[in-house]
Amino acid sequence: MNNKLLKFVLFFYISYLFYSCKKENEVIYHEEIDTTPPYAEFVFPSQDYQNLNYGETVTIKVAASDNKQVFKVEFWIDVNVYNETPEYARSSFVDYEAPWEWTVTVNFNYFEQYGVNAIHARVYDGAGNSTHIAIHVYVQR
């Protein structure tokens, strides 16, 4: 067999194998990687620098949504100079349904001082994407 004929037969055989492996009307699905972070906003307090009275009990509410699923919502108030939040000023909710809420008493166990304090929330989705939001409140006597 000459060299050209051998190449032709080999090419034909490989082509046949390649095209015969594909099934008719076969659809191949690729799982999309979720890179979209969740959406979050404060429901209460709803505006920056809202007044809270010392000793008052308030329920902090966050509305959150995601293109797939909200997995977890964390809340915390202020951070200390070491950029850490004490455990008593932190709360976490996993696999809860909306709205996500945290009831706290406005006192020095949670808030660092009278005056301006920050309330934080971080919303996570099942893929590990997260969104951080913060709102400032004014704690008055």
Tell me the pLDDT tens digit for each residue of 34-47.
Answer: 899 999 999 888 88
Number of domains observed in the structure of the chain:
1
Residue 68 lies in a domain: yes
Residue 20 lies in a domain: no
Residue 33 lies in a domain: no
Residue 7 lies in a domain: no
What's the pLDDT at 39? 92
* Domain enclosing residue 116, as ranges: 39-140
| Residue 89 predicted with pLDDT over 90 | no
Residue 3 lies in a domain: no
Residue 21 lies in a domain: no
How far apart CA 111 and CA 77 sit, in angstroms, is 6
CATH of the domain at 113: 2.60.40.10
Which residues 6+ apart lie within 8 Å of 33 measured at CB? 127
Within 10 A of 81 (CB to CB), how many other CB atoms are there?
A: 5
pTM listed for this prediction: 0.68
For the beta sheet containing 100-105, the strands, ordered from the edge strand earlier in sequence to the opposite edge, are: 39-44, 57-65, 100-105
